[in-house]
Structure 1
């Protein structure tokens, strides 16, 4: 190897080190941005544990998609390996092309129908589950009006027609310090999302669901609302804005506290609109 080429390779290597360090720093920063997401698990396909009935629907769809993708990948890899081993060029043969055919109708029909069937099956389950998790019946006993603004949230809860005092927050560095939405376990909850400034996104990772909050959407638009049914998993769960909405986007944090019904009844008694907080 010539000295000039050796010097060129060394200079390229020196330039790649800072780039690799910058990429590592970027990945670490991106990961730290979501350090309040519940711990994922391989048994759930690296999704966090869900706390809603609708989250179970998302989990099943996710698992099914992974199983189908891995099965398809396994078939493709087997075919590639099989072709590479049993149809490679032999040293004893001449450097000629193998016999050429114009078409093979059964094979062409097969590799047309199989992808069509696969896409149809994927579409069916995706459409079915999407409809299930976005369906709004309107009979939820607990309704929450979510108002997003730069850069926090305001929650106004109505329980069986009784409106509680709004809970509002400000930009914070820890979701425990942000506004807290208290909900009962084993209950259906309806959310109505609105904003007056820019696009935000309401995201509770434990719900396995998020939805953009878009300004100018009328109250009668079904895209503003969604429903969940909470599971019996009392705890405090992180929430955040998932849409880059301005300088304090990363501090637009809140929490959702799931409590037993008896504790929620006490919360209602002490947080009625007009009562002392």
Structure 2
């Protein structure tokens, strides 16, 4: 009778796991509830694979752990009319080896696959088809579409922060828009004009900080046309929540037409570091020293 009870108790977590597996998974579940679809960029699939595989492994570890906990609770529970303590096991070599080696292999495995995918994502593109310098500023974005052979022929878009309509809504038509050519390799140069921001295109599963005095880079190839949400992912001040933008991935022909439109509007050149408002850079001259050396102070 006692062995039957043990079997029934052990069967509960097993049955729960079977119900979960046999219920099937939706497309959203298969990609780990990540806010994207496979193939959005050349890096998205590897991020999804790493994320989902990690959760499958961790779920398996969790199931095994809970089964062992429940089994120990049931098998070694205090029985009726039982007094005193059960036999105490102070050392067990197989168990010691098991819970030392298995976690070690798990950690090394996660580290290896994470390092491999990260190295692939961060690998610079030797000759990107498109180079765009993005400046984060409180609380909007400037996009410089760079002509690498002649900087004076670059074009730019100067954005403003999201305009509130009330009830938590913003005017989508006035959000800054970053255009990208489908199927072309892109290099994004990330800079900040003031404080720390973070450039995040949600569907691309890729974000990186924009730090004053430091230049960061992103390399990717957009593979699907569409409009995607972008935002600042680093708390940067009072209107951080309004530091929004959209990304439009269009055909190379449409992309070139957009650049021609910016040029026709007179947005030619580069909105560079001269528009930065942070005067506390490491190489900046101290205001006191500057004033002491000026003719007006004499």
| TM-score interval (norm. to shorter) | 0.7 to 0.9
Does residue 192 in structure 1 map to residue 179 in structure 2?
no
Q: 3-state DSSP class of the match of 1:240? A: strand
Q: 1:209 is matched with which residue: 196, 206, 211?
A: 206
TM-score, structure 2 length as denominator? Answer: 0.72
Tell me which residue corresponds to 2:29.
42
Q: 2:103 is matched with which residue: 115, 122, 125?
A: 115
Query: What does 1:65-84 align with in structure 2 at a 5 Å threshold?
Result: 65-84=54-73
CA RMSD of aligned residues (A): 2.1
Q: 3-state DSSP class of the match of 1:130? A: helix
Which residues of structure 1 form unaligned runs of 5+?
A: 1-39
Query: What does 1:78-227 align with in structure 2 at a 5 Å threshold?
Result: 78-92=67-81, 94-158=82-146, 161=149, 163-172=153-162, 173-217=170-214, 219=215, 224-227=216-219
Q: 3-state DSSP class of the match of 1:138? A: coil
Which residues of structure 2 form unaligned runs of 5+?
A: 1-26, 163-169, 269-298
How far the C-alpha of 1:276 sits from its partner, in A, is 7.5
Question: Does the 8 A contact of 2:203 with 2:228 survive in 1?
Answer: yes
How far the C-alpha of 1:145 sits from its partner, in A, is 0.1
TM-score, structure 1 length as denominator? Answer: 0.77
Could you list the per-position Cα deviations for residues 223-249 of structure 1 after superposition, in whole angstroms to 9, with x for gaps in the alignment?
x11101111x21111111111111121
Q: 3-state DSSP class of the match of 1:148? A: strand
Query: What does 1:252-267 align with in structure 2 at a 5 Å threshold?
Result: 252-267=243-258
CA distance in 2 between partners of 1:250 and 1:107 (Å)? 51
Tell me which residue corresponds to 1:17.
none
CA distance in 2 between partners of 1:61 and 1:152 (Å)? 32
Matched residue count: 231
Does residue 61 in structure 1 map to residue 53 in structure 2?
no
How far the C-alpha of 1:157 sits from its partner, in A, is 1.1
